[in-house]
Amino acid sequence: MKKGRGKVGTVAVVAHRKKSLGGGLDELRRLVADQGVEDLLWYEVPKSKKAPKQVRKALKEGADLVLVWGGDGMVQRCVDVLAGSGTPVGIIPAGTANMFARNLGIPEDLPEAVRIAFHGEDRRLDLGRVNGEHFAVMAGIGFDAEMIKDADRGLKDRMGRAAYFWTGLRHVRGELVTTKIKVDGTPWFEGEASCVLFGNVGTITGGIEAFDDARPDDGWLEVGVTTASGPIQWARTLGRMSVSRSDSSPFVRMTRARKVTVKLGRPMSYELDGGAKGTVSKLTAEVVPGGLILRAPEPVASGREGEPAAEGETAANGRRAGDRSADGVPAGKNR
């Protein structure tokens, strides 16, 4: 899929009606029309929960490209259906956080996001899957999901993610629960934990770089467990994550896996890409290698701001490249 391809066949737009970017959906339609689309399928939904049905419709109609308009919740719902379909997806980051788009170098700029969706490069990316449902950015069980549930009660839109994340510290206890984690069939953690996280990309909720070495195309899922409890330990953990490597925190243990099983002493909330999903006491997380075809920005040789710094790298900020160990030692260290 190169620049200058001629007519584009069937393009489906799946849009969260309440999300906005640039001149809104009217401008999106004009920009898409400018691309010489033969058939335009246009689906608007009032909430991301309604998106999967429309994506299935789009695939049935033979869409050659699916454009998703919305934030991470919308992307998650859509990629869950698109996984393994072979149909490329273009992301128009119209949400509050847009962590997936940001990690992949898709800017919050409507004309540019549309340009990338039509003329970018098809990249095969991994997805994660928790209890059968795909995610693109991260999944979490415990503290992290409790806070998102809180935020879903309206805080998120008023305050933005970073703010609610920190505000959350004040009223979520980060309660410890007996947790058993197996990594690729081998017992890896057994003890009291407040949160288990799975990462497909490096930067997560609130702009916190949780998984320093995460790459969405290496066939591995990053796994982290935190034993932090209470506001002070959590503040220390998050503070550490925002200035240095996550695995330097005394309350965090991280590794990398293809398949992880988690058993909890009692049911806890979990979340996928920032959307609360319910309560479980058993959870299976696995990587789905190459599960998604993303229409991504063309790779650039030297990292310009907002563009991938190098092959497979994210460029959320300039710190990242320097943080990586030169020999590429994986994140999973025995601590």
Radius of gyration of the chain (CA): 19
Q: Which is nearer to Mg ion, 23 or 312 (CB)?
A: 312
Site residues, Mg ion (CB under 5 A): 215, 218, 220
Map residue 261 onto helix, strand or coil: strand
**Helix extents (H) in the chain:** 24-33, 51-60, 72-82, 99-103, 110-119, 143-150, 156-159, 161-171, 230-243, 319-323
Q: Which is nearer to Mg ion, 164 or 188 (CB)?
A: 188
Cross-strand partners of 261: 182, 284
Residue 214 CB, nearest approach to Mg ion (Å): 5
Residue 188 CB, nearest approach to Mg ion (Å): 17
Q: Which is nearer to Mg ion, 208 or 214 (CB)?
A: 214
Q: Which is nearer to Mg ion, 168 or 308 (CB)?
A: 308
Residue 161 CB, nearest approach to Mg ion (Å): 22
Residue 321 CB, nearest approach to Mg ion (Å): 17
Q: Which is nearer to Mg ion, 51 or 130 (CB)?
A: 130
Residue 120 CB, nearest approach to Mg ion (Å): 21
150: tokens are 């809180």
Map residue 113 onto helix, strand or coil: helix
- For residue 202, the 8-state DSSP code is S
Q: Which is nearer to Mg ion, 109 or 217 (CB)?
A: 217
Residue 88 CB, nearest approach to Mg ion (Å): 20
Q: Which long-range contacts (CB under 8 A, 24 or more apart) does 84-89 make?
A: 84/288, 84/291, 85/59, 86/293, 87/59, 87/63, 87/293, 88/1, 88/64, 88/122, 88/293, 88/294, 88/295, 89/65, 89/292, 89/293, 89/294, 89/295
